[in-house]
A = this chain, B = another copy of it.
Amino acid sequence: MTSEPRLVEVRRNVMKKNDLLAAGLRDSFRRAGVYVVSLVSSPGSGKTTLLEKTLSQLGRTHRVAALVGDLATDNDAARLARSGAPVRQIVTGTVCHLDAEMVRGALDGWPGEELDFLFIENVGNLVCPALFDLGERKKVVIASVTEGEDKPLKYPHMFRACDVLLLNKIDLLPHVSFDTERFAANARRVNARVRILPLSATRGDGLPEWLGFLRGELTNEPPRVEV
């Protein structure tokens, strides 16, 4: 994002193109019966650890897969592949977010109708990914208790754009100065409808609620459309 007027104009066209493409993706995911969740957070919030646990545990009852965005390295894809789920890496170079075109490209040749859940892990960045629709059904932000209670107010675009807010690393609460109630109040100031789930991806607290939420969402989905 930038303040430069010429760039703002060009970017507006890019966003419009992205929105159209994302709408097409969303439609094809719906028709194929794939529930798509995108995960965004600042670097080091525990996205990959959470996704690793999610793929392993949800993979016992559902068909799951993941796309993983990073500037460089395929470390995360290698970590996630240990869950046994199909994983594809998107290396973005200097690009600070995923976009719908990258998602479409990465899905090329994947039989979408054989999946229940597709998770898309974005580049670690609380700013730019807020603006790019990836065709997901739910956008999930992960924040951690080590980051401070003020983050929803300081990064309002992202917290406003999300459907679910996972508050991670609650196992560290005894060791940091963090007021969970104040964090939740700050989050609700920018996004009154957001669902907040506290958890510890490493220790396992809150994972049953998170997985229960996902399973429930699938049950509530309209039936798959035969094409």
Contacts and interface: CB of A to CB of B under 8 A. Distances in A.
Interface of A: 1-4, 6-7, 10-11, 13-14, 42-44, 70-73, 75-76, 92-96, 99, 101-102, 123-128, 131, 143-144, 146-148, 150-151, 153-157, 169, 171-172, 175-177, 202
Contact of A94 (B72, B102, B157): B157
A52 to B, nearest CB: 13
Given A4-B14, A42-B124, A128-B128, A154 B73 contact: yes
6 contacts: A2-B11, A2-B95, A71-B156, A76-B154, A124-B154, A171-B175
A127 B10 contact: no
Contact of A127 (B128, B154, B171): B128
A141 B151 CA distance: 19
Contacts of A3: 92-93, 95, 99, 101-102
Stoichiometry, as copies per complex, reads 2
A144 B10 CA distance: 36
A144 B1 CA distance: 26
B10 A14 contact: no
Contacts of A6: 10, 13-14
Nearest to A6: B10
A138 to B, nearest CB: 22
Contacts of A43: 42, 126, 147, 151, 154-155
A5 to B, nearest CB: 10
Most chain B beta-carbon neighbours within 10 Å: one of A11, A76, A94, A95: A94
Contacts of A71: 127, 154-157
Contacts of A11: 2, 7
A79 B11 CA distance: 34
Nearest to A92: B3
